Structures are given as structure tokens and as C-alpha cells.
Structure 1
């Protein structure tokens, strides 16, 4: 891979990227973490790879060089750390490609393979759709039901759920006191939910400092079916007045009345219901416990089976970038909605 002939000449792509990360508002700690990992990758390449033992530069690296580096990390790091380091490199290449300093992102295929191995976990508890329906129907509290149904219907990560503001949802509000003031991205798109890649822990989004990060690669517009619309309207009808001017969609009805729901609160709500069902025990692992992340696994497994379209499922999960979407169809939004509505399971 060579640099684009139309791009500005950049002698040190890593320094360029880290500086831009700072311009975008990332903390010095985040900048340092990016630079540390990227310098490790640069040093790995310079020492030579299986493909080229004389050494490889960052612009020249291929997906095989990246795969070799990721594999080398596994000897000394936990799987979660390996995935984090891989995501740093993926973001670096993705950004540098977007601004025209580098020609392509060799990490796209590598990250896809890493996620595939993580998502396909045969050790997880198997719960049938009928069992999940009984579980959901047994939840009567409007907040608890809205949390569980939203997670199951969208495949959101729990942090992404907690970061939702009312402006991120466009649904019919007949019977509610006020109309919803939605994002421009949702204008004219009724029954949709917007998930932004922007919120980051410790940084401000929509005027509020966030306690969780969204881990999406791109913005995602997720369809809202009639069941999800119904539980959200039910929740909004009794939702306490939010403390934050950001108008969070989900707020506490407990000791932190009116404050944005945190990931710990959401986790507790889910696991208490799961424990009552016999699906959770303290000290149990992912193989047996049902947590908010289990619902993402359930969503992914069922939609992959029903749609047979991994691209659309990856889009809904937030795992696919804009350039990949462009290879599918110019009418992407309609295709996603049609496929989703034909395939999404009923819970109530």
C-alpha cells in the first residue's frame, strides 16, 4: 500500500493521527494510549514480518501483517486487551484513510474475523424464543420492560442504551403531553432510533458528561417495530422529569431519581429479573448468566438465522463501516427496514 498521490505528505502518520485525536477532544490519556499501541505496532513492523523480513512501514502494511501482529499479542495479553488494541489500529487506519493520508484500511478484514470469533460463542446458555417471550411478558415495570425490550429488539450494547437521549428516538407520541424534538438525522423517519458513535466516557455529548462509551464504527439508524414503540410510549408516559438538560431517554426511578440510567443500574435490573428466572447466579460466567450483553448475542443469533444477510445484521450491530454499506445498495435504509420488519421476533 502506498500513500495517496493527492494527499498531503505526512512523515509520521502516528503523530498526525494522535494530534488530530486531540483536536477532536480526546483526553491526553486517550491520546497516550493510542500512541503507545500504535508505536508498538510500528516497531513490530520494522523488525520484519513473515511476509517481508526486511521490515514494513505503516503505509505498506497488509491485512496479513496486521493479523500477524494481533496474533503476537495473544501470548502476553487477555482476549479483551487484544480486541482493544486491534480496535485502536482499526480506528487509526480508518481515520487516516478517510482524510486521504493512507490509501486503504488493512484492519477491516482483521477486525471482522476477531468479532466473528467473539460473537460465535457455543458455550453460551441457549434460550428459545418461547422462553424469552415468557421472560419478557413476566416483566411489568415500565422501565424494566422498556430496557429489556429495547436491548432485545435492537442489539444495542448497554452503554449505547444508557446514552440514548429522547432526541435519538422518533416514534408516534399520541397520548403524550409533548411532541418529541428529534435529531435532524431522524427527520421524516418515523419509528426509528438513532445510535451515534460519538459518546465517550468522560466527555460531553449533548451538553452532558457521559459515563459510558458507544463503541460503534458509524452512526446507525435502527427500525422501531410496533412492540418496541408500545413499550417506549408506555415508559415515556410515566418517566420522571430528567435532571439533565440532555433529556436522557432512560432515567432512574430509584435512589437516583431522574438521573440518567447508568450501565450498572441497567445491569442490575436485567440480572435481578434473570436471577428470578434461574438464568443468573453470582459468580457465574458468560456460559450460564443472562446479562444485558446476552440480549445482543440473542439478537445477533436470531437475525442472522432469519435474514441470512450478515451485512444487515452487522450494520444494525454497528460493526460495519460506510464504505462496506456502499457495496450493498444505494437504497440501504429501505432494505434494512424491510429485512428487519420481516425478520424481527415478537416478544409480547
Structure 2
């Protein structure tokens, strides 16, 4: 996935640089013509632009490195914050439906708190996770566990813990695409406490931080101020910790770079269109067109082009996402099968389209303003 991200960034950066250089050529058409009239060869013109491009690239790389270091330093000073806390009662038992028996891990929770901690509702295939608050005999099962028990939503099963048991009804199925799908049983905290029979107790408290990389420091702090043992997710899997690393920060920076480059590409393309149509704009203004009208014409044209472009981008993005799911990458578990899963929800494409239109509008403001500020005489005589 990192390779795909780097390739995408390189492609977008390439188009951004090419667009800027193309704009420079358009802006310096007269100077190029004068140099060639004075005897400059095509090779000399090419070398001039290559030297100028290299110099600008060196300055840009230096500025980008300094800004990157400043960004890393500032991000490193962001304090950790607690986003969610959920008390749990976790135990090992067995589930039986008819003649099918499976070992399970039951988790008693407050559904509202657990959903804020683990976003459980987003993983549900069927059912409403909040119903656990009102149904003390309801349970949510992992999709693989439900398949192995051969039970469906609405079916009753028995949950055993040593010599005690409870009859529960399946009110929902969830899929986390991890090994938890084979063993997980969610039930209300009060129901789990009834099964354990030790009163109003919990076995652990899950804490979600705004910055998950601060988990080790937070665990150490809790160990210092309390008599309970605090562990962090990195203690359970060093490999996952190394893989994840600063993935969140990297993604944010990557998206910022993509947006900035895209904005420059759109703005430069629109400026080139305005440069190509200086004469037409001058004629319109000479015929009585107001500057506001020229501004609105440029913005509307930009938005009309951006709408089909946004739809095409969404279609290509969906096709690329489906192609990625076919890659033989097992990043979760055997239960998830080969490949990776991508949530291609309709609201994501609607947000992407709205964001593309907004980006096109903002990026087209300066070119449209420049077109409206053209002098009619100079524009008509520019060709």
C-alpha cells in the first residue's frame, strides 16, 4: 500500500510540475520569440528551461524539507487526549446451538461506550448495537462464529461458563475481518456480570486516545498513579506497532500534499485557458461585457468541467479500489480470506465529489479574477 501511495503521489506531482512549466512557457512566449529572432537555437531554449526548472526544483526541495521538519516538530508537540473509555468484563466460555459447540470469548460492555471506543456499529452486518442496552438476553456474534454454529439472527443459543449458563438470542452479526470473528460474543455488561456471578465488577477498561502513538506513555502514567496494571496495544503485537508506526500522520501529510498539488494543477490549467482566450475576453469586454460577467463566465465554465471530471474520478477510484481488493494481500486473518477489504460506501463518493467541486471552485477564483481584470485593449492586441 505504501508503494501505491508513493506512485500516486509521484504521478500527481509530475502533472503538477508539468503544468507549471507549461504555464511558464505560455507566459514567456514573447521572450522566447525574441531570443530565437536573435539567433538562439532550439537546443539553447531547451537548456535554459531545463536549468531554470532544476534551480526551481532545488529551491522547492529545500523549502519542502524545512517545512517538513517544522511540521514533524509541531506534530510531535501535540498532547495526547482521551477520546473514549469503555469498561468491559471479558471471559472465556463456550457457545452451543443445537449440536454445534464453539469456544468463545464473551465481552460484556455498555454498548454506547464500546461503540465510541471500537466503532462497533460500523462493523455490524445486521442489527443495531445499541439494542444491547435494552435487551439483557441479546448478543452480537462474530460472522464466522455464527457460521460455525449454523445460527442466524433471531436464533437462541446457550452461553456456558464453567457450570453456569445463559440462554441468549442473537440480535446482530458483526464482521471485524480479524480472528475475533471466529470467537467474539458481545453482550450487555450486566448480563456478563450475571454469568460470572461476582457482582458489579469489570475485568478491564479500554481507553482510546486521540494519538494512538502516545499509548505507551499513557500506560506508563497510569501504572505510576494506580495499583492496576495498564498495557497498551503495542505490548500485544510489536509487528503491528512497527507496521502502523506513524501511519496516521503520514496519511494526513500525504492528503495535504495531494490537495495542494491538485489545487496548483487546476489553477495553472485555468490560467492557461485564460491566457489562450485573452483576445476573446478583450472582445467581450469591448462589446460591453462587465468584469463581473467575465468573472462568472470563468467560474461557471470551471465548475461545468469539474462536475463530469469529479464523476469520472469517482468511477476510476471505485474501479481502482476493486482492483486493489483482488491483490493477494492477507493483511487481516484467514477468516477474511485473501486480499484486503475496502469500504466503498455511497456517502464516501458523495463527499469526494463535493470536495472535488469545492476544490475546483476555490482553485478557479484567482484565474477568474485575473480574467476579469484584463485590459480590453491589451487583451485584443495580445495576438
Question: Quick check: which one's strand share is greater?
Answer: 2
Normalized against structure 1, the TM-score is what? 0.23
Normalized against structure 2, the TM-score is what? 0.22
Question: Quick check: which one's helix share is greater?
Answer: 2
